[in-house]
């Protein structure tokens, strides 16, 4: 008996799409409105200790389009968008981790987490490396500080499920000239044929749409990829919690049954022999489900 079980997302979907935007700037309001309009969720990475977060005046060095939120603005943003937005950490002061010793990195990540959890009253386990830079010491600091994933700024230009969540590279930045080609390729992937499932993930800063005068880029992307029945639209933390639950499943020795020890229902596509068609199987929290009929 050769049981083959592939990960599927909630509802049996084989594709997931996520967005991740950094630095908590005022234009995140506009971006979140766009996400909502197209049925897509997003992750917003915040530096809770940056002074500019506290003083909402236009920054002479950054210009009006790049204005960071103040605390009131940020709390309004969270209350308005909590159903579609993950607030994730981005380091207390947006420091350059590879030039710091590990204890300083640990402070940057744990103090940021503590602030955000105090302000929002929910756990904060997602992270994006400031400037995208990291070294082994920073990865260790994040792991010891309880983070489930940490986003780099590396582009994979692919749709693989990340195997190392603390060194996670998105598919691409929204400015990548391949963005719309990648979106088209993602839509045409056939889960029956290829190595599903797939993740298409995009990151950036919403102030870039102001600076580059190209909000239509995001409008076009979301018109194409958003609001579809065959795609799951989680925040990044929802995505990585799901992957963690999938990786926690406990199979019987002969793979004839599977137990879900987590609090998240997990869907699989299972095939008992290569000659049989795949079937969807959802394993609910605490349940043991037979894959092979007795």
Residues near Zn ion (CB under 5 A) are 22-23
DSSP state letter for 147: -
CB 142, min distance to Zn ion, A: 16
Query: 87: exposed, middle or buried (C-beta count within 10 Å: 0-12, 13-18, 19+)?
Result: buried
Q: Which is nearer to Zn ion, 22 or 238 (CB)?
A: 22
Question: H/E element holding 54?
Answer: helix 51-54
CB 38, min distance to Zn ion, A: 24
Task: Please say whether the beta carbons of 183 and 230 come within 8 A.
Answer: no
CB 16, min distance to Zn ion, A: 24
Determine the straight-line distance between the first and last CA of the chain, rounded to whole angstroms: 13
Q: Which is nearer to Zn ion, 23 or 108 (CB)?
A: 23
**Rounded-to-integer distance, Cα 143 and Cα 130, Å:** 16
CB 45, min distance to Zn ion, A: 7
Q: Which is nearer to Zn ion, 22 or 108 (CB)?
A: 22
**Rounded-to-integer distance, Cα 282 and Cα 9, Å:** 10
CB 91, min distance to Zn ion, A: 8
Q: Which is nearer to Zn ion, 23 or 208 (CB)?
A: 23
Query: How far, CA to CA in Å, does 14 sit from each of 121, 160, 229, 242, 245?
Result: 32, 12, 11, 13, 16
Task: Please say whether the beta carbons of 166 and 149 come within 8 A.
Answer: yes
Q: Where are the alpha helices (DSSP H) in 122-173?
A: 136-144
Q: Which is nearer to Zn ion, 138 or 267 (CB)?
A: 138
**Rounded-to-integer distance, Cα 89 and Cα 207, Å:** 18
**Rounded-to-integer distance, Cα 18 and Cα 234, Å:** 6
Q: Which residue is nearest to Zn ion (CB)?
A: 22
CB 94, min distance to Zn ion, A: 6
Task: Please say whether the beta carbons of 205 and 21 come within 8 A.
Answer: yes
Task: Please say whether the beta carbons of 9 and 232 come within 8 A.
Answer: yes
Q: Which is nearer to Zn ion, 93 or 176 (CB)?
A: 93
CB 100, min distance to Zn ion, A: 16
Q: Which is nearer to Zn ion, 68 or 241 (CB)?
A: 68
């Amino acid at each position: 008996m050769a049981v083959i079980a592939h990960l599927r997302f909630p509802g049996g979907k084989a594709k997931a799409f996520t967005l991740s935007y950094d630095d908590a700037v005022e234009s995140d309001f506009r971006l979140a409105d766009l996400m909502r309009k197209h049925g897509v969720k997003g992750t917003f990475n915040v530096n809770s200790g940056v002074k500019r977060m506290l003083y909402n005046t236009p920054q002479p060095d950054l210009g009006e389009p790049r204005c960071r939120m103040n605390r009131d603005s940020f709390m309004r943003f969270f209350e308005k968008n909590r159903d579609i937005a993950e607030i994730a950490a981005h380091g207390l002061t947006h420091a350059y981790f590879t030039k710091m010793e590990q204890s300083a990195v640990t402070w940057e990540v744990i103090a940021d987490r503590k602030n955000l959890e105090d302000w929002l009253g929910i756990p904060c386990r997602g992270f994006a490396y400031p400037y995208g830079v990291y070294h082994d010491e920073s990865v260790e600091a994040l792991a010891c500080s309880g983070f489930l994933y940490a986003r780099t700024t590396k582009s994979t230009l692919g749709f693989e499920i990340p195997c190392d969540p603390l060194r996670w590279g998105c598919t691409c930045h929204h400015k990548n000239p391949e963005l719309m080609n990648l979106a088209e390729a993602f839509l045409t992937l056939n889960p029956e044929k290829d190595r599903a499932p797939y993740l298409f993930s995009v990151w950036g800063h919403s102030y870039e749409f102001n600076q580059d005068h190209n909000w239509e880029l995001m409008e076009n992307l979301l018109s194409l990829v958003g609001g579809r029945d065959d795609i799951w639209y989680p925040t990044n933390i929802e995505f990585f919690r799901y992957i963690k639950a999938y990786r926690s499943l406990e199979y019987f020795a002969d793979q004839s049954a599977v137990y879900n020890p987590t609090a998240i229902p997990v869907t699989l596509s299972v095939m008992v022999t290569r000659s049989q068609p795949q079937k969807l199987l959802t394993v609910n929290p605490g349940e043991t489900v037979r894959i092979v009929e007795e």
